[in-house]
Structure 1
Amino acid sequence: MTRRLHIDWTACDGRGTCTELLAEVLVEDDWGFPLARDGSPRPAVPAGLEAAARQAVDRCPLLALRLVQD
């Protein structure tokens, strides 16, 4: 199963913590909000980056990130 990141846009305020911790998957837009590098609405998390993804989810101050399974 593939794990993906779900970004809750209503909760996110663009602090950029997730993009710093998961730079391989996310980039910041001009206002600091996370975007998937591949342009998808729910970016896939490669198996080797699951620990970094969990850290990004855990450190999101507004709980705007979740890891979901396909």
Structure 2
Amino acid sequence: MPQIGLFASWFVFNGWQASTIGANNASLSFQLTMNSSVMLTAGLLGLVIGVVGGALPAFSATRLPLTVALRARG
């Protein structure tokens, strides 16, 4: 399923351009380019966040007695 998010972000943001005008008419412009290394980094970062986000509650749940864990709904 993470591929859906990667391809959706590639479809939306690849080639996206933005520019700003700041003080003293200073202009800053940039263009986003989604290449394979950016997509690989984003995919791995999402995987790490998902594993850490799922592992921390799982480790805390293993410390609870079974009867307490079954009673604590909500």
TM-score range, shorter chain: under 0.3
Whose relative contact order is higher, 1 or 2, with alpha carbons under 8 Å and at least 6 apart? 1
Asked which structure has the greater CA Rg, the reply is 2
TM-score between the two structures when normalised by the length of structure 2: 0.22
User: Quick check: which one's strand share is greater?
Assistant: 1
